[in-house]
Amino acid sequence: MTVTIRCADFNNDCPAEFTTPQEDELLQHVELHTKAVHQPMEWTPELAEVVKTHVKQA
């Protein structure tokens, strides 16, 4: 089983999509991606919770 998330589910035209075996790992990818690509958006615990609601299991 894997979990997947698409950046386009949130805000923008961003084509990024992540798939990992574990949700924790997925969130780490999204965190790095957010900090690298979507400045000045800040990564917060609240944002992490929102991200979790968009995670899909595959």
Q: Which residues bind Zn ion (CB under 5 A)?
A: 7, 14, 16
- Shortest distance (Å) from residue 21 CB to Zn ion: 21
16 or 23: CB nearest Zn ion: 16
Judged by DSSP in three states, 10 sits in coil
22 or 41: CB nearest Zn ion: 41
State how far the Cα of 45 lies from the Cα of 58, in Å rounded to an integer: 24
14 or 47: CB nearest Zn ion: 14
State how far the Cα of 57 lies from the Cα of 38, in Å rounded to an integer: 24
38 residue type, one letter:
H
